[in-house]
Structure 1
C-alpha cells in the first residue's frame, strides 16, 4: 500500500494550485456578484472565460481514467487533484470535472454504445453541453432505490417514460441537454434489483417539464440548481437504453463508486480551507484579553480538525487504492466508509470555523455558511449515512457468521 503521489499527479497538483491562486480565488466574489445580477440561471461569463484558460493549460477532463479523451489518471492519482478543485464550490466546472457531468460521462464512456458516445459523450467532454441525473423521487424513500416508481415502458421501437423526479442537479441550467433517467422496466421481476433500467433522455423531449428549483438551506445554487422534474409520456428511441433492460443497478454501482471518491476529496478540500480560515481568524481577533487562537477551546478545535481531516484523507486514498487494485466490488466497504466519514468530518470542521468567526461566519461575507450547506447535503447524496452504516455493519458481522 503506497499513497505517495505519482510524478504525474505531483506535476498536475502544482499546476492546479497555481491556477487556483491566479484565477479562482481572485474571482470568487466577482463570480457571486455576477450570479446575483440579471438572470441568475444563465452561464456565468467569468466561469466560461476560465474554462478556456484551463483548457489552454491542459487542465481539462482530468477525471476520466483509461481514456484517450481524458488524463488517464487512476482513482488514486486523481483524488488529490479533486481535493484542490474542491476548495471552491464552483471550481470543478472550470476544469470540466464537476458533478453530475463527471458521473454521467463515466457512465456513457463505460456503458454507452458508439452512437451514444458520439451524440452525447463527445459534446460533454468538450464542455459544449451539460447534463443531469434523474434517480431520486419525492413520493418514495429513495434511500432504497428499489422503491423507485418511474416507469420506462417499451412501445415498439421506443420507450415511454412516466414519473416524477427531484434533486436532479443541473436540470435548470440552460446548457443541460441530457438526462440519464432511472426507472422500472420490469416491475414484476422476482429479483427486485433487476427491475430498473437507465435511459438517455434529451432535455427537449416532449413531456419533460422542469417543475421548480429546490433550495438547500435557503440556497438555490444558481446557475446550477437542483430541480423537480416531471416526465409525462416522454417518448425516446429504444436505442437510448443503456446496456439493457434490468441493468440499472449495475450501472448505478459502476457510476457511484468513482463519484463517491470525487465527492469525498472535494469535501476534504472544503475542510482544509475552513481550517485555514479558522486559524487566520482566531489569530487576528482578541477576546478576554488574548487572541482567540490562544484560548484552549480554540486550540483543541484546531488540533481536532487537523486530525479529522488527515484521517478522512487517508481513508479516501485507501478506498481509491483498493478501487484501482481490486475493483469497486471488493472495495465496497471502504467506499461506504468514506461516504460516511468525509461529509461528517467536513460538517464538523466547517461548523467550528463558523463558530470561530462569530456571527460573521453565518453571513455571505465568508464562504463558510454556503460551504456548510454543501457539506451537509452530501450526507444524502450518493446514499444517506444510514444506508452506508448498515452496509458496513453487515459486512463486519459477516466475518463472524457461520
Structure 2
C-alpha cells in the first residue's frame, strides 16, 4: 500500500509541473512577438518637386515657379532674385504645393529655397537656382493721362499710350488684364482701343465727384509677340475727380447753362456755329484751357482771302475738339449773342462771361451741345474725348477682353 500511494503522488507532481511550464511558456512567447519599437528616421523623407529645375538657363519670364512636396507638407518657400528682392507666391491649403504670383525679371538669376516637414516631424530643405532669358525688344507705356497729381472733371477718361503698336486682339486682351484701375468710390467701366497704340478707360457713367483714382500699367513678363517681344516695366498715375461741372449749350435758344454738382451757377447768352459751320452736337469734354490763342481760318480749311477768312486773337478759350472748337470770348459778336448763331463753329460769349467761365471749368469737364438743327455730331473717337456719345454697350465692343472693370478700393 505504501508503494502504491507513492506512485500516485509522483504522477500528480509531474502533471502540475507540466502545466506550470506551459503557462510560463505562453508568457514568454507573447513578449517575443511585440519586440522592440523600430528605430525613428533621422533624415527627413519629404520629397521635393521644383519647376524650373535646378541649373536651368534661359527660363521664360512668364514661367510660374512651382514647388511640390511629397511625403510631407511645405512650411515655407522663398523665391529670391539676385538683388535680394523676394517674388511673392501662394501656398496651397495643407502645404502640398506653392507657386509664384508675379512675373519674373528679364535676364535675372533666382534662388528658390523650400522647407517641408515629413510625417515623422523631420524638416527637410531643397534649394534650386535658375536664370531667365533676355527679351529681344520691349513694349511699354509711353504716357498716362491724366498725370499724377491732376484734378480733372467727371467726364475725363483714362488714356494710356504705348510706345509701339499693339494689333493682335489676344495681346490687347492680355494687356487690358494687366491694367489696374483703383478708385475710392466703386466705379464700373471698361477699356477700349482708340487705335493701335492707345487704350482708354471710360466709366459707365460720369465719375462720381470727389473720386480718387489710381491707375497702373505694368506689362513686366507679358509675352507680346512670337519673336521675343515682351512688356516693359509699368507706369502709374494717381489723380482726383473734381466737382461735377456740366455745361449745356442750347444752340436754338442761344443760351449756355453751367451747373456745379447740380446747382445752376450761371446762364450765359452765346452764339454758336452758323449754317455751313454748325457747332457739333453731342457730348464733349474740355481738352485744355488757353488764356490766349490765335485762331486762323486756314487751319480749318477756309481759304485765305475768302469772305469767311479770319485771323483773330482770342482770349479765355476752353478747347473741346482737336479740330478747333472752343468756348471763348467773342467781343465782336456780342450783339448776336443770345440772338443768332454767327460763329464758324465755336461757342462765343462776352469777354466778362468768358473770363468767368475760364475760371470755373477744368480739363475733363463735360460740355453738351443740343438743338443745333444739324446732323453734324461729335465724333466718337479721334477728335477729342467723344466716347460719351456711345452707349456703354457699344463702348464695351471696343474692349479686346470684352469685360467691364470695377475699380478696386484705393485711398490715394
**In terms of Rg, which structure is larger?**
2
Flag the structure with higher helix content.
1
Query: Does the TM-score normalized on the shorter chain lie above 0.5?
Result: no
Q: TM-score normalised to the size of structure 2?
A: 0.21
Flag the structure with higher strand content.
2
Q: TM-score normalised to the size of structure 1?
A: 0.21
